[in-house]
């Protein structure tokens, strides 16, 4: 079994070691490196090209926002999962703009973190319930002024259906059941959507679609 390669970026050693220990208990997860600051996270991500980076926000030398943006520039396929104590709007929106695939608060359980790592690796969206709705509202209200015609022309009708259902928070299996197609077909559609929109995760795709007006609040639950 090919394990998911994880990089931990957290400046508190005790928290970092505890997180590593809990992740390493899972047979399909492998922590390839640990970083104590943002610069080290960027350097280690360049070397190891992890599948998932679990990133805090407040770190020395380079904060999580800049580190996320730069990691996504060098390795677009790497999913960045934010794990932090901060739920301030400025951090949430800046990190999603930077390309974070998920945003969780440190009040979650061990099982929720493990599931989240697997989920963002699979292209799923992972947002803490307390911030999910305000993210939708924010990006719906802060649309990019440029026309979305070019993007629309690249997406097929079925891909638009999949994107809209993904924006509603449906899992791949739920989308498959809704459209009466296989889970594998949903994964292929999402992969095509990511490629056409130039993003690496479901969260990035939904944020871009909201900003471009491809999805509206009426499409959301």
- The side-by-side arrangement of strands in the sheet containing 79-84 is 29-35, 4-9, 52-55, 79-84, 102-105, 126-127
6 has pLDDT over 90: yes
Q: Average the pLDDT over each of 67-71, 91-95, 123-127 and give the range with the smallest value.
A: 123-127
CA distance to 61, 86, 171, 194, per residue, from 65 (Å): 12, 12, 27, 21
**Do the bridges between strand 126-127 and strand 102-105 make them parallel or antiparallel, or are there none, so unpaired?**
parallel
Measured between alpha carbons, how far is 161 from 126 in angstroms, rounded to an integer?
20
CA-based radius of gyration for the chain: 17
* CATH architecture type of domain 144-219: Orthogonal Bundle (1.10)
**Taking the domains of the chain in order of start, what are their residue ranges?**
4-137, 144-219
Region 145-157: mean pLDDT is: 65
State which H helix or E strand residue 33 sits in.
strand 29-35
85 has pLDDT over 70: yes
In the chain, % of residues over pLDDT 70: 85
Q: Answer yes or no: are the C-beta atoms of 39 and 2 closer than 8 Å.
A: no
Region 24-37: mean pLDDT is: 91
Q: Tokens 């795709």 identify what position?
A: 205
* pLDDT reported for residue 109: 86
Instruction: Collapse the DSSP code of 142 into the 3-class scheme (helix H, G, I; strand E, B; otherwise coil) and give the result.
Output: coil
**Which DSSP symbol is given to 156?**
-
Q: What is the pLDDT of residues 117-133, one digit of tens each?
A: 998 888 777 877 666 66
Q: Which residue has the higher pLDDT, 137 or 96?
A: 96
* CATH architecture type of domain 4-137: 3-Layer(aba) Sandwich (3.40)
Q: Answer yes or no: are the C-beta atoms of 173 and 140 closer than 8 Å.
A: no
pLDDT class of 80 with cuts at 50, 70, 90: very high
* 4-137 shares its CATH topology with 144-219: no
């Amino acid at each position: 079994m090919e394990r998911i390669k994880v990089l931990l970026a957290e400046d508190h050693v005790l928290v970092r070691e505890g997180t590593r220990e809990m992740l390493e208990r899972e047979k399909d997860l492998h922590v390839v490196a640990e970083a104590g600051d943002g610069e080290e996270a960027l350097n280690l991500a360049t070397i190891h090209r992890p599948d998932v980076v679990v990133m805090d926000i407040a770190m020395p030398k380079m904060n999580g926002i800049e580190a996320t943006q730069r990691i996504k520039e060098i390795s677009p396929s790497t999913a960045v999962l934010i794990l932090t104590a901060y739920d301030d709007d400025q951090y949430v929106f800046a990190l999603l703009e930077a390309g974070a695939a998920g945003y969780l608060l440190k009040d979650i359980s061990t099982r929720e973190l493990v599931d989240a790592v697997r989920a963002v690796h699979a292209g799923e969206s992972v947002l803490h319930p307390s911030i999910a709705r305000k993210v939708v509202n924010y990006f719906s209200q802060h649309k990019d002024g440029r026309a979305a015609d070019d993007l629309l022309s690249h997406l097929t009708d079925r891909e638009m259906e999949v994107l809209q259902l993904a924006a509603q928070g449906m899992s791949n299996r739920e989308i498959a059941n809704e459209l009466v197609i296989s889970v594998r077909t949903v994964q292929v559609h999402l992969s095509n959507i990511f490629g056409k929109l130039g993003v690496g995760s479901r969260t990035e795709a939904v944020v871009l679609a909201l900003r471009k007006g491809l999805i509206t609040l009426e499409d959301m639950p």
